[in-house]
């Protein structure tokens, strides 16, 4: 049985249903069926306020924290801080004034978040009309409970407002009893609160049900014998309450309300029209309700006789010609219905505006369940997984519709969907722009440059999300996909990405609750990556590699839409009271979009083409030296100067005269100054003064500078005028760098150590003149050191896209927050807390890191490899000397076959690796850093492990002395070992090589 059959099989549906029943029944055995109407043991229902009737302070806080850039969870931590005697509880019991509360609470929040927290603004939001709005499902339930003659009460932990009134934004008439903590001076979970309430209701605990979202409050009530319901989601809680009470608490048609005054339509005309259409003579009146959603095209529930219909119409007023095209909705739903996509069955399109004032269409009413919260509260993990799988499958179904057979070939343009969409939303955004949002500016530049090359054309829904799907009430079957207003022909992946937006929004997010702070594994919900993979599997297409682009685009689109809402709210034409608030979220969404653009950038960088066939031939000439003549003291002077840029020179003897002279000078300097200084430098390294620069190094630096052995690393290509460095090619420098690698202390002495070299090159290439004067010059002079802070303890940093540190713009500064470690230059661990960096200090500009990475991650990346060759050579030289003089079992070690084999292996491995280093350097010189990507990855994969093996053999030959500080071997080994991941893990380089191999050499 294939996956598709399995998922559709009746067994699975039965299993799903069984799990659902178990879930409901498991909580309240035997309570699944409606038993009787109002005649159960319960006579009163007691409600908590926040979290049950209104959004909880925690939820309000989550939303507010996002908008105010306050670390998530600060408010909740402060609310519970101090328990019974914390400021929040004291305030609830009216033991402190609002002023004192805000002061103490603000101090607490600032301590927790280590930033100043404007608690006044949180308090205003918490008590604002926008937030303090009762959940409609609860209002309905209370109405039904009272209609059955049961009592209702509210038991609230609340406080006095500055105006002297208590904060209870509810219609008190809904309740028989209201108990408020600030009036009584006692708070839940103190049992006195519950007893007071029961007393006033005149009820026994066993006759009452209490609903709360907090465990301790429920526990206290249950302790008294009150039946309790935990409210994670109001809708689910009402269902549970229904099963306990034994009568329905919902209006007959969920998600409807009486028709709004401004949206009324003439009932008589509609009734006449329907009678003709349906050919009926009803006896009863026409029933009309309005759906809560579908603000853009007003949507109505219509009941006439036994016909239940949905009417969807254009809004009243003057409209743009292409907007609110109900005709298109009708057409697509009809076509898709015929093609087997679950959509409500459409009945008729009426383009005659005289009936209800605008064109409209009719469809059959399809009862079912809409999941508004993507975390699917109240369901089991297996049910959640099934819901997400069903959603994925239905999307695949939409995208698999045969356009020709469905008669939809002209439903939209073919091809270039994203290019058109990007331009459309840029235009829309520009038209409603109110201030410059940096991330939007970057996206406007970035998106058109990174459009995916190949796009399929299918039907796209345009607004495909969980709450636009109507599910079977008890199984994971999608009964209908709703709201086709934005549908067209286009790139189907845009729908998939849009469908994953909620994954990246926090649960308390206004306009749409999200999942970013939920444990998806525990919930049973697929991650966005899994969801994309599932889609590819269902569609039978290869994995989507550039899905970050689609995510960036989706968030950009949302940001542009929100900006429009915001602009309209400013000009007073907002369609909803929350428009102003939601519009402010543009910036938040655009930052999310930009995060994805960055991730996509990394992806592109990793995918960059490997070595292209070289345009120039490698003019290789050999001046083969006699094996073993490479010593640290002499080299054979030979050949004439050579134009090295076009030739791969694999022996120093073949270097051009000027370079050979430098090479010779360097070797002599090493012999004269560096090797003899090693014991003293090692002593300094382990002394208490190790955190201050060694005076000996400073002295040697001056000497090296005086001899012209300074800044040799800067490649000619970066510094063609030799303004800053010696003007060597990468390959020429490779020979010199190898010599420096023979001592751990040498690179700093010649001002050629990491990460200064890479950083200096970066400043030469991309720094402004001011930046160069301030940072490059002191670095070039050896008066400053620099660092590179990427790695973070909390995430796997070999994948740079994991980085969690943030940088945001604020008042002309970039504010950096993050935690970094293993920062070379002392391998420090650094906490960046609200670090304010003047804007002018950024190099090249925001969002241009890739250009830099592509430039920087060239030469600097193979310097370690060059040095590792030198380090290995020295280890082998030391080994050879040792085994000649050390005698065991009657003969020098060198006469042992295994030692000879080790020497031979080391020589061969060093030679192999050297050739690869030189080749990588040469390719960089002749065709550029980008094209050398394969060679760079290959040598980074090879050099550290080769050096580790060679040094390890030397240590073995030395015996215990090899591990002592009398020799550099142990330090060499630690260094080489660290480079198997410090410069990117071996595995990552291996993967890169294999990928390029498969892509370009298949």
> Where on the chain is the footprint of ligand FAD (CB under 6 A)?
755, 787-791, 796-798, 822-824, 827, 978, 981-982, 985, 987-988, 991
CA-CA-CA-CA dihedral for 923, 929, 935, 939, to nearest 10:
110
Rg (CA), the chain: 36
What values do phi and psi take at 476, rounded to 5?
-90, 35
Helix (H), strand (E) at residue 321:
none
Write down the least CB distance from residue 678 to ligand FAD, Å. Answer: 19
Omega within 30 of 0 (cis) for the link into 189: yes
Write down the least CB distance from residue 779 to ligand FAD, Å. Answer: 15
Q: Are 485 and 40 in contact (CB under 8 A)?
A: no
Q: Which is nearer to ligand FAD, 119 or 871 (CB)?
A: 871
Burial class (CB in 10 A: 0-12, 13-18, 19+), 822: middle
Q: Are 390 and 369 in contact (CB under 8 A)?
A: no
Write down the least CB distance from residue 979 to ligand FAD, Å. Answer: 8
Write down the least CB distance from residue 944 to ligand FAD, Å. Answer: 11
Write down the least CB distance from residue 508 to ligand FAD, Å. Answer: 31
Helix (H), strand (E) at residue 994:
helix 986-1000
Q: What are the start-end ranges of the H helices in 796-858?
A: 849-856
Write down the least CB distance from residue 970 to ligand FAD, Å. Answer: 15
Q: Which is nearer to ligand FAD, 316 or 985 (CB)?
A: 985
Of the candidates 190, 243, 242, 244, which has an alpha carbon nearest to the alpha carbon of residue 221?
Answer: 190
What values do phi and psi take at 151, rounded to 5?
-95, 160
Both tokens assigned to 757: 């070299």
Q: Which is nearer to ligand FAD, 567 or 864 (CB)?
A: 864
Write down the least CB distance from residue 792 to ligand FAD, Å. Answer: 7
Q: What is the DSSP letter of 173?
A: G
Write down the least CB distance from residue 978 to ligand FAD, Å. Answer: 4
Write down the least CB distance from residue 971 to ligand FAD, Å. Answer: 12
Write down the least CB distance from residue 795 to ligand FAD, Å. Answer: 7
Distance in angstroms (rounded) separating the CA atoms of residues 115 and 243: 47
Q: Which is nearer to ligand FAD, 286 or 787 (CB)?
A: 787
The Cβ of residue 258 has, within 10 Å, a number of other Cβ atoms equal to 10
Q: Which is nearer to ligand FAD, 90 or 980 (CB)?
A: 980
Q: Are 644 and 731 in contact (CB under 8 A)?
A: yes
Q: Which is nearer to ligand FAD, 660 or 980 (CB)?
A: 980
Of the candidates 144, 183, 163, which has an alpha carbon nearest to the alpha carbon of residue 38?
Answer: 144
Of the candidates 389, 365, 385, 364, which has an alpha carbon nearest to the alpha carbon of residue 375?
Answer: 385
Task: Specify the pairing of strand 806-810 against strand 469-471.
Answer: unpaired
Distance in angstroms (rounded) separating the CA atoms of residues 695 and 702: 11
The Cβ of residue 131 has, within 10 Å, a number of other Cβ atoms equal to 20
Q: Which is nearer to ligand FAD, 419 or 787 (CB)?
A: 787
Burial class (CB in 10 A: 0-12, 13-18, 19+), 688: exposed
Write down the least CB distance from residue 939 to ligand FAD, Å. Answer: 17
Q: Which is nearer to ligand FAD, 259 or 991 (CB)?
A: 991
What values do phi and psi take at 34, rounded to 5?
-65, 125
What values do phi and psi take at 832, rounded to 5?
-95, 115
Write down the least CB distance from residue 786 to ligand FAD, Å. Answer: 10
Report the SS3 class of residue 508: coil
Q: Which is nearer to ligand FAD, 797 or 906 (CB)?
A: 797
Q: How many helices (H) and strands (E) does the chain have?
A: 38, 20
Q: Are 562 and 582 in contact (CB under 8 A)?
A: yes
Q: Which is nearer to ligand FAD, 349 or 803 (CB)?
A: 803
Length of the chain: 1002
Both tokens assigned to 16: 């799903």
What values do phi and psi take at 381, rounded to 5?
-55, -40
What values do phi and psi take at 865, rounded to 5?
-65, -40
Write down the least CB distance from residue 633 to ligand FAD, Å. Answer: 31
Report the SS3 class of residue 439: helix
Q: What is the DSSP letter of 526?
A: P
Q: Which is nearer to ligand FAD, 827 or 839 (CB)?
A: 827
Write down the least CB distance from residue 806 to ligand FAD, Å. Answer: 16
Q: Which is nearer to ligand FAD, 691 or 889 (CB)?
A: 691
Helical axes 492-499 vs 381-399, angle rounded to 10°: 160
Q: Which is nearer to ligand FAD, 214 or 744 (CB)?
A: 744
What values do phi and psi take at 362, rounded to 5?
-120, 140
Q: Which is nearer to ligand FAD, 486 or 795 (CB)?
A: 795
Task: Specify the pairing of strand 307-313 against strand 299-304.
Answer: antiparallel
Q: Which is nearer to ligand FAD, 605 or 822 (CB)?
A: 822
Write down the least CB distance from residue 759 to ligand FAD, Å. Answer: 10
Both tokens assigned to 165: 């009134």
Q: What are the start-end ranges of the H helices in 153-224?
A: 181-184, 191-201, 215-223
Q: Which is nearer to ligand FAD, 309 or 857 (CB)?
A: 857
Q: Which is nearer to ligand FAD, 641 or 796 (CB)?
A: 796
Write down the least CB distance from residue 385 to ligand FAD, Å. Answer: 27
Q: Are 242 and 248 in contact (CB under 8 A)?
A: yes
Write down the least CB distance from residue 987 to ligand FAD, Å. Answer: 3
Distance in angstroms (rounded) separating the CA atoms of residues 614 and 591: 41
């Amino acid at each position: 049985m294939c996956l598709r059959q399995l998922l559709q099989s009746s067994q699975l549906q039965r299993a799903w249903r069984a799990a659902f029943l178990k879930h409901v029944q498991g909580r309240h055995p035997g309570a699944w069926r409606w038993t009787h109407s109002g005649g159960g043991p319960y006579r009163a229902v007691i409600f908590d306020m926040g979290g049950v009737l209104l959004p909880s302070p925690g939820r309000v806080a989550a939303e507010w924290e996002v908008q105010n850039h306050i670390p998530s969870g600060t408010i909740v931590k402060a609310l519970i801080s101090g328990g019974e005697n914390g400021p929040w509880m004291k305030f609830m019991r009216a033991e402190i004034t609002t002023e004192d509360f805000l002061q103490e609470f603000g101090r607490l929040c600032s301590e927790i978040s280590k930033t100043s927290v404007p608690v006044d603004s949180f308090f205003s939001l918490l008590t604002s009309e926008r937030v303090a709005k009762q959940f409609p499902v609860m209002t309905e339930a209370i109405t039904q409970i009272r209609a059955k003659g049961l009592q209702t009460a509210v038991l609230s932990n609340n406080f006095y407002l500055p105006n002297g009134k208590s904060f209870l934004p509810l219609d008190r008439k809904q309740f028989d009893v209201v108990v408020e903590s600030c009036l009584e001076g006692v708070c839940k979970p103190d049992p006195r609160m519950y007893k007071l309430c029961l007393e006033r209701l005149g009820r026994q605990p066993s006759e009452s049900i209490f609903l709360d979202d907090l465990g301790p409050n429920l526990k206290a009530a249950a302790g008294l014998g009150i039946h309790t319901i935990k409210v994670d989601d109001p809708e689910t809680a009402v269902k549970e309450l229904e099963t306990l009470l034994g009568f329905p608490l919902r209006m007959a048609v969920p998600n409807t309300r009486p028709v709004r005054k401004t949206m009324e339509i003439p009932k008589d005309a509609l009734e006449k029209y329907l009678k003709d259409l349906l050919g009926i003579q009803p006896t009863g009146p026409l029933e009309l309700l309005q759906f809560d959603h579908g603000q853009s095209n007003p949507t109505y529930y219509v009941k006439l006789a036994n016909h239940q219909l949905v009417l969807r119409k254009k809004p009243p007023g003057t409209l743009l010609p292409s907007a609110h095209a109900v005709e298109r909705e009708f057409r697509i739903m009809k076509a898709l219905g015929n093609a087997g996509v679950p959509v409500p069955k459409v009945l008729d399109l009426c383009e005659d505006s005289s009936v209800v004032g605008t064109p409209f269409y009719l469809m059959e009413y399809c009862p079912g369940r809409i999941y508004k919260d993507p975390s699917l509260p109240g369901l089991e993990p297996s049910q959640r997984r099934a819901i997400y799988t069903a959603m994925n499958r239905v999307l695949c179904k939409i995208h698999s519709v045969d356009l020709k057979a469905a008669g939809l070939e002209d439903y939209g343009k073919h091809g270039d969907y994203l290019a058109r969409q990007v331009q459309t939303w840029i235009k829309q955004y520009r038209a409603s722009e109110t201030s410059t949002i940096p991330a939007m500016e970057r996206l406007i530049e970035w998106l058109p440059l990174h459009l995916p090359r190949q796009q399929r054309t299918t039907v796209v829904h345009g607004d495909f999300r969980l709450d636009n799907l109507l599910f079977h009430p008890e199984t994971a079957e999608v009964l209908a996909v709703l709201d086709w207003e934005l549908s067209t022909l286009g790139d189907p992946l845009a729908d998939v990405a849009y469908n994953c937006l909620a994954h990246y929004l926090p649960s308390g997010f206004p306009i749409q609750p999200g999942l970013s702070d939920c444990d998806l594994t525990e919930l049973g919900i697929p991650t966005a990556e899994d969801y994309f993979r599932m889609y590819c599997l269902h569609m039978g297409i290869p994995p989507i590699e550039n899905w970050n682009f689609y995510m960036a685009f989706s968030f950009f689109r949302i940001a542009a839409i929100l900006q429009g809402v915001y602009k309209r709210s400013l000009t007073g034409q907002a369609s909803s009271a929350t428009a102003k608030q939601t519009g402010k979220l543009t910036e938040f969404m655009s930052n999310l979009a930009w995060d994805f653009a960055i991730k996509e950038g990394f992806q592109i960088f990793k995918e960059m083409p490997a070595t292209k066939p070289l345009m120039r031939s490698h003019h290789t000439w050999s001046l083969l030296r006699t094996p073993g003549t490479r010593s640290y003291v002499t080299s054979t002077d030979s050949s004439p100067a050579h134009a090295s840029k076009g030739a791969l020179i694999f022996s120093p003897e073949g270097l051009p005269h000027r370079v050979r002279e430098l090479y010779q000078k360097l070797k002599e300097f090493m012999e004269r100054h560096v090797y003899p200084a090693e014991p003293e430098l090692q002593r300094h390294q382990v002394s208490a003064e190790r955190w201050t620069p060694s005076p000996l190094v400073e002295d040697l630096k001056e000497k090296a500078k005086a001899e012209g052995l300074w800044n040799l690393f800067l490649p000619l290509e970066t510094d063609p005028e030799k303004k800053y460095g010696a003007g060597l090619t990468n390959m020429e420098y490779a020979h010199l760098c190898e010599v420096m690698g023979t001592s751990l202390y040498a690179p700093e002495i010649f001002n050629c150590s990491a990460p200064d070299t890479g950083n200096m090159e970066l400043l030469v290439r991309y720094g402004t003149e001011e930046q160069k004067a301030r940072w490059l010059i002191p670095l070039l002079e050896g008066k400053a050191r620099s660092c590179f802070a990427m790695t973070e303890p909390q995430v796997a940093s070999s994948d740079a896209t994991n980085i969690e540190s943030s940088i945001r713009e604020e008042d002309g500064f970039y504010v950096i927050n993050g935690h970094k470690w293993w920062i070379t230059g002392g391998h420090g661990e650094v906490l960046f807390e609200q670090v304010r960096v003047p804007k002018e200090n950024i190099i090249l500009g925001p969002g241009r890191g890739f250009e830099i990475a592509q430039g920087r991650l060239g030469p600097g990346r193979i310097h370690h490899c060059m040095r590792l060759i030198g380090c290995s050579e020295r280890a082998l030289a030391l080994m050879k000397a040792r085994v000649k003089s050390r005698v065991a079992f009657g003969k020098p070690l060198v006469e042992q076959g295994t030692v000879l084999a080790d020497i031979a292996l080391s020589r061969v491995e060093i030679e192999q690796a050297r050739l690869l280093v030189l080749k990588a350097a040469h390719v960089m010189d002749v065709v550029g850093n980008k094209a050398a990507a394969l060679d760079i990855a290959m040598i980074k994969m090879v050099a550290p492990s080769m050096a580790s093996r060679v040094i390890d053999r030397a240590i073995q030959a030395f015996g215990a002395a090899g591990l002592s500080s009398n020799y550099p071997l142990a330090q060499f080994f630690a260094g080489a070992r660290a480079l198997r991941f410090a410069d990117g893990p071996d595995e990552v380089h291996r993967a890169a090589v294999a990928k390029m191999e498969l892509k370009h050499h298949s």
